[in-house]
């Protein structure tokens, strides 16, 4: 998942084109990280040693790890460790950049350092993004918004389900506290009970969510598409209701609602929006609390 954040930064500073970014993200979906890159990234081998082993592979029918062990560059334990990391999303992104001769490893490290500095990330923040663990990533974007625990917990739950059911190459942005939100496309469902909640998804990213969840293509964001998004929200809400019931909290789900005309949600209470980008389209997770929201 780090690739979508770092790649967007490389786009923003003008060193990676939109086409290159999309191509690399798509290529990294099904690729595996090469052992040489893993070994160099882990500090077990130098680039020269990895190149030597790659050249030897062209002359003999043997795996990279076996040759590296034979040459004394790696131990069997190190090879086993590296094999477990071949699906690493960060390294897959780096590999795609290097294979296309867009950047060297040294240049990538330089840009990564600049990215960390300009985004004011700590080493722990950067490791969280590289981990692709959504439970480590989401807190980076919910902190500082003065959001109650209920909001942060629900956002994390929906984010996990977007990764599971929709796409694992998504990019979240900072959670914001707002008073109004307007969109032409909104799918939603509300809770009533010990506390009231409005949960919605707005924006053109509804098409990506609807298609992924329904497993069918929609020509446009119509009622069928939004109905699929409502089903997705209903699943998230069911999981959330089950979770809080174990904490002796009672909330009931109301029937889903959808809006296909320009609609504004306003609130005198607490209202939060968290942007999520799916294949370049923006889907906003909307949450209102305290039964003070209005829909026009």
Mean pLDDT across the chain: 88
Q: What is residue 273's predicted lDDT score, i.e. its pLDDT?
A: 95
More confident of the two residues 206 and 134: 206
> Residues 50-74: what's their mean pLDDT?
83
Strands 197-202 and 186-193: antiparallel
- Contact between 252 and 284 under an 8 Å Cβ cutoff? The reply is no
Q: What is residue 17's predicted lDDT score, i.e. its pLDDT?
A: 92
Give the other-Cβ count within 10 Å of 175's Cβ: 22
What is the sign of the dihedral through the CA atoms of 106, 125, 33 and 10? negative
Helix axes 2-12 and 123-131, enclosed angle (nearest 10)? 120
Closest CA to 222 of 200, 199, 204, 201: 204
Q: What is residue 269's predicted lDDT score, i.e. its pLDDT?
A: 85
Window from 121-125, 183-187, 240-244, 256-260 with minimum mean pLDDT: 240-244
More confident of the two residues 83 and 167: 167
| CA angle (91, 10, 3) in 5-degree steps | 30
> Residues 73-99: what's their mean pLDDT?
82
- Contact between 48 and 40 under an 8 Å Cβ cutoff? The reply is no
Domains of the chain: residue spans and CATH: 2-131 (no CATH), 145-295 (3.40.1550.10)
Give me the residue label for tokens 């009672």: 250
> Residues 42-70: what's their mean pLDDT?
83
Q: What is residue 227's predicted lDDT score, i.e. its pLDDT?
A: 95
* E strand or H helix at 171: strand 170-172
Top mean-pLDDT range of 140-144, 155-159, 248-252 = 155-159
Q: Cα separation of 14 and 34, whole Å? A: 28
> Residues 162-189: what's their mean pLDDT?
90
- Predicted confidence (pLDDT) at residue 58 exceeds the cutoff of 80: no
> Residues 136-161: what's their mean pLDDT?
88
Window from 28-37, 98-107, 237-246, 285-294 with minimum mean pLDDT: 28-37
Ramachandran bin of 279, using left for φ above 0, alpha for ψ from -120 to 50, beta for the remaining angles: left
Q: Cα separation of 184 and 149, whole Å? A: 29
Q: What is residue 56's predicted lDDT score, i.e. its pLDDT?
A: 84
What are the residues whose beta carbons fall under 8 Å from the beta carbon of 204, sequence distance 6 or more?
185, 221, 281, 282, 283
More confident of the two residues 131 and 23: 23
- Predicted confidence (pLDDT) at residue 239 exceeds the cutoff of 90: no
Q: Cα separation of 18 and 285, whole Å? A: 25
Q: Cα separation of 53 and 210, whole Å? A: 46
Top mean-pLDDT range of 36-45, 62-71, 261-270 = 261-270
Give me the residue label for tokens 């942060």: 152
Q: What is residue 188's predicted lDDT score, i.e. its pLDDT?
A: 95
> Residues 179-192: what's their mean pLDDT?
93
Q: What is residue 174's predicted lDDT score, i.e. its pLDDT?
A: 93
């Amino acid at each position: 998942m780090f690739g979508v954040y770092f790649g967007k930064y490389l786009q923003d500073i003008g060193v990676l084109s939109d086409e290159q970014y999309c191509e690399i993200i798509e290529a990294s979906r099904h690729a595996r990280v090469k052992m040489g890159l893993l070994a160099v990234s882990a500090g077990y081998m130098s680039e020269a040693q990895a190149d030597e082993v790659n050249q030897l592979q062209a002359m003999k029918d043997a795996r990279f790890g076996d040759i590296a062990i034979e040459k004394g560059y790696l131990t069997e334990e190190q090879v086993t460790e590296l094999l477990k990391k071949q699906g690493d999303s960060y390294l897959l992104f780096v590999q795609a950049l290097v294979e296309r001769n867009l950047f060297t490893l040294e240049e990538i490290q330089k840009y990564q350092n600049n990215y960390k500095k300009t985004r004011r990330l700590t080493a722990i923040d950067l490791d969280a993004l590289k981990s692709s663990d959504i439970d480590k990533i989401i807190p980076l974007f919910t902190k500082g918004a003065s959001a109650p625990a209920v909001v942060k917990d629900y956002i994390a739950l929906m984010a996990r389900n977007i990764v599971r059911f929709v796409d694992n190459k998504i990019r979240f942005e900072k959670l914001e506290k707002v008073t109004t939100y307007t969109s032409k496309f909104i799918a939603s469902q509300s809770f009533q009970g010990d506390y009231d909640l409005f949960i919605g998804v707005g924006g053109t990213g509804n098409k990506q969510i609807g298609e992924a969840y329904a497993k069918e293509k929609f020509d446009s964001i119509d009622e069928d598409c939004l109905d699929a998004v409502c089903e997705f929200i209903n699943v998230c809400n069911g999981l959330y209701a089950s979770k809080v019931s174990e904490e002796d909290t009672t909330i009931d789900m109301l029937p889903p609602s959808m809006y296909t005309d320009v609609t504004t949600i306003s609130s005198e209470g607490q209202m939060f929006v968290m942007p999520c980008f799916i294949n370049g389209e923006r889907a906003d997770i909307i949450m209102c609390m305290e039964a003070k929201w209005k829909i026009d």
